Every structure is written in C-alpha cells, then in structure tokens.
Structure 1
Amino acid sequence: MPFRTRTAVSGAILATAAVLLCPAAAAARPAAAPGAPPGWSAAPAPADGAAPSAQDRPYFYLAGAPGTVMNDRLSLRNPGGRAVTVALRGSGGWLAFAAKEVTVPPRTRATVPFTVTVPPDAVPGDRSAELVATTDGTGRGAAGRDAVPVHLRVTGPVLAALTVENVSVRGRGGAAVIRYTLVNRGNTVLTPRVAVRADGLFGPVLRRAARTLPDRLAPGQSADLTETWDGPPGLDAVQVRLTATAGGGAHGSATAAYTALPWGVVAGPAVLLAGAGGLVVVRRRRRTKGTGGGRGGGPVRGAAGAARPSEGEVADPAAELASTGSGARV
C-alpha cells in the first residue's frame, strides 16, 4: 500500500510535525498533465522521493484496529506564479493536520503530514471522511476549494445487521402508500435491497421483486422510505410484508395489515343502524302515549298487577293498601 501506519504516535511528535516543502527547480519538475486545471490543487502525496504521475492515488485508504494512530501525507501543488496560502482541515474528529495553514511558493509542491487516530472504543467497519483545502484563489472544483476523500476501515469482527421498522399502509385515491424505516444495526456500511409482497383473503395481490436502493446506510444510520402501490384491491383484508437484505448476510422483514373497504360498504350499515335506532325510539314513544292516556277504556294496572280505578271511579283506600303489601296491616 502507498501509505504508512503506526500503532502509536506520541503527542509530542504530532505537535512538532512540520510541513515538508519540496521546492525544486522548475526545470526539474515534470510538466503539468495535459488538461490539468489552472491554479493550485490537492491530492494524496506520491511515495517518498517519487514525482507526481497519472498513477497516483485518487483518494486515501487507511486501515487499522481501534486505538491505532495512522499517518499519511497530502500534496498541495501550486503551478502559478505567486504564492498561495491554503487552509487545511479534516471533515471528521479523527483527522488532524500537522499544520492548519500552509503557504505554497510559486511553482512548488508542498507535502503536509496528517494523522488518523482511531478511538479505542471504535466499532469495526467502514468510515468516510474528507481532507478539505481552501483559499481565496482559484482551486480545483469549486472556486477556492479542493477536497480529497479518505476511506477508513476499522479492523475487527464485522457485523452486518439490518432491520425493517414502522411499516404502515395508507390508501390515497386509486393507490396506496407503503411507509417504512430501514435501520443499519451493524458496524459496516450496507447497500440494502428491498422486496415487497402483499397477500389478501383470496391469494397474492402484489409481488415486487427485490431492488437495490440508491443510497447506502452507514452503521447506526436509518432511512425513512416509501413504496407506491398502484391499483390496490378495493375490497380485501391484506397483509403487506417488506423484506430487506444486504451484503454480509444482513436480513430483516416486517409486516403491516391493510383493510380496503369501499365507502358504500362502510356507510351502509351505519345508516341502517341509525335508522333502526330511530324506529325504536318512535315505537317507544307511541307505546308510552297509548298507555298513559287510558285509550283502551279499561283499568290501568300498577306494578303489582292490582287494578287501579279509572278516571271517575272512587278508590277504596283500605283495599288498595292491602293489595300493595306495604304499610301497616290491620
């Protein structure tokens, strides 16, 4: 590999690390590659003593166990006729430059050391970062800015784990929307594939083969996603299952129930029940009216079944008291 690793680097060494400038005569340097953009640029430094060439690394790749400190070098090239001052930083807390700012003389290449410190409790797996160089001048890519990717692998046991969570199905017009969440529960970057199937009361209603999602999931990362289902059944009880897979044997699945009922099926029984309730109320009112007025002309019986005098008759208090079974006995 074109980079070097160290298992331990003391803070004193890092503090005293210096920018390695390589000013050489312009005639001794190779000419700029055809089509190279004008102005300064940043790239991984070539091997010790080697001149830049088209075979140089396009990015940094470093691998180490938790607790390891690794070092490499960034090359800043200034083919212009005046000095350029470049500010340097890493996109992650594991990256540190020997100098945060470097002035590169005209027609000169400067080599700047940096370190990658892997925390002792780091989880094995892949990481991505960038070395970012900025200045007021014109650089590669966006004006005044250049970035070099850093791919880091923390060595150790690799665990690929993927779960499907929060599955739900909602109808929307003539379609349905399936919502779900994918979570990377392992320690390596995953590129998930998702398959969808749905089964109703009378058999399968949806079969969607596994497809690779456009985005990757870093360890611990989650993604809220949707699947559109055109033409779901209009009257059925369906179980929808999503299955996600990824490299390393990662596998996860989850289900959700979806009941499709036309509006008429739902509203009809409700209307009938409401109508039946109204008929019961009316019948009860009519019965109350008929019994309360003595329309039949006969005597009205009380709770104990004894005959009560109708309108115009004189009640016998003694007989009524005896018939109710209450009060004092004589």
Structure 2
Amino acid sequence: ALVGAVAAAPPGPRDWTAAPAAGRPYAYLEGPAGSVLQDTLSLTNPGARPLTVRLSGQGAPVSFAARTVTVPARTRADVPFAVTVTADTPPGELRGTVRATAPDREVRVDLRLRVSGPRLAALTVEGVHVDTTTGTLRYTLVNRGTTVLAPHLAVHAEGVLGTVLDRPDRPLPLTLRPGERATRTEPWPDPPALDSVTVRLTVGAPGAAPATARAEASFASSPALTGAAGLLLAAAGGGGYAVRAVRRRGKSRTQRTSAGATP
C-alpha cells in the first residue's frame, strides 16, 4: 500500500530510509509456535526521482507482499511482511534482519521475535544396541521438550565379575531442536572376550531430568571359547588320573590285606 507523504525539502538520493512502521526502532513480533506474525516496513523516498528497493530477510523466515518496490519521488511506501514461526520453534527470543537494498546503499532493520509458550526440557535415549563383534554401542537421542538441548552422556557396563566399562558423564558435540532425534554410536575398543554384560546409558541436558536405557549382550569370541574348552579338558583329564590312582592304590591295599589273611 502506498501512502503519500511529501517531504519538506528535496534531499539527495542517498537519504532514503527503511524503518518499521510507526517510527519504532526495530520490528518486534510475538506469538506461539506454528503462527504467522505480520508487520509493516516503511520505505521513505525524499528524493526527486523514483527509488527501486529490493527486500529480503536474514536469520528468520520473512516473506514480503512484494520483493521489489518502486517508491515514487517524495513518497513513503508501506510494505507488509510476515514471519512464519514453525511448529517446532522453541519458546524464547529470536533475532533476524530485514534488508532493504537499492543501487546506492543497503539499510538493515532489526527484527526481534519472541515465541511464547511453556519451556520444557525433556530428553530420552532409545534403541540401545551392542555390536558384540566390535563392541560398538548404538543409540538414539530424542528431544521430547520445547527447548533446544545440548545432551551429555555417561556409559556403564557390568559383567559377571563386576564393572567392565565406566565412562563418566561428558557433553556430546550436538544440539537437538524440539522433536529432533539423532542416532549415534559410542566406540568400545576393548570389550570383554567372554562375558555376559548389561550396558547402561544415561543422558541428560541442562534443565532436563536424566534418562537411562539398558541393553544386554553376551560376548564369546573364538579364542576365548578355545581357551575355555582347553581348561575344561585339562581339568577333566587331571580328575580322571586322580580317580585311577586312587583305584590303583585301593587295589594294592586289598591285595596286601588278602595276602596277610592267608595262612
């Protein structure tokens, strides 16, 4: 929409302005996730010739009633624009920029967006799996809250004879937006060769309660099985020799007793 506004004097072409309507220092929009918020940008051309301005947004999904606007001389053009707040946008403050560009210069207008709604930090760990060939742990993190999360992870594993893996809590190199999930792997280069273990993964994030998931795994490598079988055979062989020796000693005592009883 064009609104006539005659300037008091004919300044040069570089004196055109771009600003939020009603003389505000910046554009401020507020609303819940999933909404479309609207505002108006005022382009003022105090010069003696028409001015063509290209409009664009940065840092926020901005759409304009017209991307290119020609403002007549000594006239103000009010251009509506809208910011789409996606459904997964977390509550909080966001910043962006509306840019108005002409051949002689560019004017930037600050855009401040406040997304309303409750702030909930909730993180889960799911689908824990242990690759018994390599020991690699595979798991999926899910952001089930309304805020961006920076997860951290602790890993613990117990075997038949006690702890076989214990990694303290540490931050992970990722962030998760609301509703976002990420599947990751955790290396375990020296898993047990022969053991039955329970692996426990505990995840957390600032403001979120810790979440835990477990997985069971049985490790049985071929060298370990061969060694175990050899030990069993050795034990079995030694026991048989002892039984035979006892039997031979028993037989000798029987023969001596029988010989002494003979008149």
Q: Give TM-score scaled by structure 1 length.
A: 0.48
Structure whose residues are more often strand by fraction: 2
Q: For each residue in 1:255-308, what CA deviation from the matched residue of structure 2 results, as whole angstroms up to 9, or x when unmatched?
A: 1122222213446899xxxxxxxxxxxxxxxxxxxxxxxxxxxxxxxxxxxxxx
Q: Does 1:114 align with 2:81?
A: yes
Partner of 1:86: 54
Deviation at 1:188, TM superposition (A): 2.2
Query: What's 1:191 paired with?
Result: 150
Instruction: Call closer, same or farther: CA 1:67–1:149 in 2, change over 3 Å.
Output: closer
Does the aligned pair in 1 maintain the 2:88–2:179 contact within 8 Å? Answer: no
Larger RCO (CA within 8 A; separation ≥ 6): 2
Tell me how many residue pairs correspond in the alignment.
218
Q: 2:119 aligns to what?
A: 158
1:252 aligns with 2:220: no
CA distance in 2, matches of 1:62, 1:213: 33
Identical amino acids, percent of aligned pairs: 42
In structure 2, relative to structure 1, the CA distance for the partners of 1:70 and 1:240 (3 Å cut) is same
Matched, 1:217 2:176: yes
Distance 1:61 1:193 in 2: 35
Q: Distance in 2 between matches of 1:149 and 1:206?
A: 50
Tell me the CA shift for residue 91 of structure 1: 8.7
Question: Which residues of structure 1 form unaligned runs of 5+?
Answer: 1-16, 30-43, 51-55, 77-82, 141-145, 271-330
What SS does structure 2 have at the residue aligned with 1:230? coil
Match of 1:10 in 2: none
Quick one: distance in 2 between partners of 1:249 and 1:69? 29
Q: What does the per-residue CA deviation read over 1:291-327, in whole Å, with 9 as the maximum and x for residues that have no partner?
A: xxxxxxxxxxxxxxxxxxxxxxxxxxxxxxxxxxxxx
Does the Cα contact within 8 Å between 2:155 and 2:202 map onto a contact in 1? yes
2:206 is equivalent to residue 241 of structure 1: no
- Aligned pair 1:206/2:165, yes or no? yes
| Alignment partner of 1:168 is 2:129 | yes
The unaligned stretches of length 5 or more in structure 2 are 44-50, 230-263
Contact between 1:86 and 1:104, CA under 8 Å: does it hold in 2? no
CA spacing shift, 1:133–1:223, aligned 2, 3 Å: farther
2:185 corresponds to which of 223, 226, 245: 226
3-state DSSP of counterpart to 1:125: coil
Alpha-carbon separation, structure 2, partners of 1:201 and 1:70: 60
Q: What is the CA-CA distance between 1:117 and the residue it aligns to?
A: 5.7
Change over 3 Å in CA distance of 1:18–1:170 after alignment to 2: farther
Q: Is 1:264 aligned to residue 238 of structure 2?
A: no
Q: Distance in 2 between matches of 1:111 and 1:210?
A: 54
Match for 2:223: what amino acid?
G
Is the 1:90–1:96 Cα contact (8 Å) retained in structure 2? Answer: no
Matched, 1:179 2:132: no
What SS does the aligned partner of 1:229 have?
coil
Distance 1:224 1:207 in 2: 21
- Counterpart code for 1:86: R
For residues 184 and 134 of structure 1, do their structure 2 counterparts lie closer, same or farther at Cα, with a shift above 3 Å needed? Answer: farther
Give the Å deviation of 1:172: 5.1
Give the conservation status (yes or no) of the 8 Å contact 1:131–1:149. Answer: yes
Q: Which has the larger radius of gyration?
A: 1
For the 8 Å contact 1:19–1:112, the answer to whether it is kept is no
RMSD: 5.1
C-alpha spacing 1:266/1:118, structure 2 compared with 1 (3 Å): same
Q: Cα offset for 1:19? A: 9.7
